[in-house]
Every structure is written in structure tokens, then in C-alpha cells.
Amino acid sequence: MLRKTVRRMLDMCPAAWYIFISSVKLTAFVLVCAFVLLLGWRGSMEEGYTQYMTAMSLYEIGQALLLIGVVFSACIEDAQRARR
């Protein structure tokens, strides 16, 4: 099952592949930003509440970006395969 999934991913059209890779890169960047904010938070809710909430929001946005990117790349790939 996993082998079939990997093969299909590697056979994606260039537009779908670009969207997928770009969403992975953007998600990684957002998660690194969230991690850096958590490092600067120092565990203090009185002084660093806004940093903590910003980091948690970036964490959730990263998940949403990846999900949207995967869905769009799958839709583009399915449309391309239907044309063939």
C-alpha cells in the first residue's frame, strides 16, 4: 500500500508536485517560527502569554497549510489524470 502511494506521488504532474513541495516548505518554515517563539517564551505565562499564543497559532496554521496544499495538489493531479 505504501509503495503504491509513493509511486503515485513520484508520478505527479509538475504543477501538483510544485504545490505539494511548496506547502511542505511553507509548513516547515511556519513550524520553525513557532518553535523559535516557544524557545523565547521561557515558560512564563505572565510575561510571555502573547508569544505562547502566537506560537500555538502558528502551529495550527502549519497543519492547515499542509492539509490545504495536499488537497489542492491531489485535486490538480486527479484533473490531469482525467485528461489523459
**How far apart are the C-alpha atoms of 40 and 65, rounded to whole Å?**
24
Q: Which phi and psi (to 5°) does residue 46 adopt? A: -70, -45
Count, residues in the chain:
84
pLDDT tens readout for residues 23-78 = 999 999 999 999 999 888 877 777 788 888 999 999 999 999 999 999 999 899 88
Q: Residue 26 to residues 9, 17, 41, 62, 70: CA-CA distances in angstroms?
A: 19, 14, 23, 8, 12
46 is written with which cell numbers?
Answer: 505572565
Hey, where are the domains in the chain?
14-83
For CA atoms 31, 35, 40, 44, give the dihedral sign. positive
| pTM over 0.85, yes/no | no
